[in-house]
Amino acid sequence: MIRILTIGDIVGAATVDALGAVLWKQRAALKADLVIANGENTTGIHGLGAKDAVRILDCGVDLITLGNHTYGMRDLYPLLDSRTNEIIRPLNYPPSAPGCGYVIRDVCGWRVLCMNVNGTSFMEPLASPFDTVERVLDREEGRYDVSILDLHAEATSEKYAVARYFDGKITAIFGTHTHVTTADEQVLPHGTGYITDLGMSGPDDGILGTKTEAVLTKMRDKMPAHFTVAEGTIVLRGALFTLDPSAKRCISVQRVIL
C-alpha cells in the first residue's frame, strides 16, 4: 500500500511556519509515504515566491503543485525548470511556459505519476483538461504504477466530470482552488479515489484566507481593493489517500486536519 497525504492551498508565509511546526510529526503519525501540497497562494495570495517554495519543501512536502497563479512571482520561474521533480505547474499551459506539468516519483519502490491541471470553466481559456491529461496518460503508459492528479478548478461540476471521465484511469484525484473543503470524499466505481476540494491551509479569520474588509470593499461596494492575507488561527486541511499499486486502485480517502 502507498499512503499519499495531500494538503490544500497554502495561504501566506505564516501558514508555512505552521506547516513546518507540525508536518514531519503528522506525516509520521499518518504513515504518509508521499506529501503533495498546493502552493500557488503562498506568497501574498497571488503566487509562490522562490524562497517560500524552498521553505515548503523543507517543511516535509515532497511535491508542490500550482494553479492559475503559477506565474504570479517571477523569481519562481528558474525553479520551475530546475526542480521539476519537486514543483510542477498545470499541464495545460502552453509548452513554452516555464516548468513541467507532471513527474514520476519513486515511492516505496512503486512509480507514482503525479499530475497537475487547471480547469477551464470560469477560469483562463487554457487547453482542455480532458485532452491534456489523456495525452500524458497515453505518453507515459507502462512507465508508472499508480497516478494522482491535482485538479485546480473553480466549478465543482467540471471537477466531478473530469473525475468520472478518468475513473479507473487515474488512481486518485483531488480538487484545489476554491479554498472550501468538500464532504464528498469517496472511491468511485472503477477505483479512483476522489474529493472535489481539499480546502485551504491558512488563517480562518477572513474570507478564503484574505482579509475580510478588502473582500467586502470589492464585492459589496464594487470598489478596487488590495487583497492581503488574513490573520488569526491557521488550520491545515487536506486528505489522505491509501492506494493499492498492485490492484491499481484507491482503497480509501480520508479528510484530515493537521
Torsional class of 222: left (φ above 0), alpha (ψ -120 to 50), beta (otherwise): left
Q: Is 69 a catalytic residue?
A: yes
Residues in the chain: 258
CB 193 within 8 A of CB 213: no
CB 91 within 8 A of CB 61: no
CB 203 within 8 A of CB 11: yes
Q: Which of 69, 152, 177, 179 is catalytic?
A: 69
Question: 114 to each of 89, 159, 207, 210, 230, how far by Cα in Å?
Answer: 11, 17, 30, 29, 31
Annotated active-site positions, please? 69
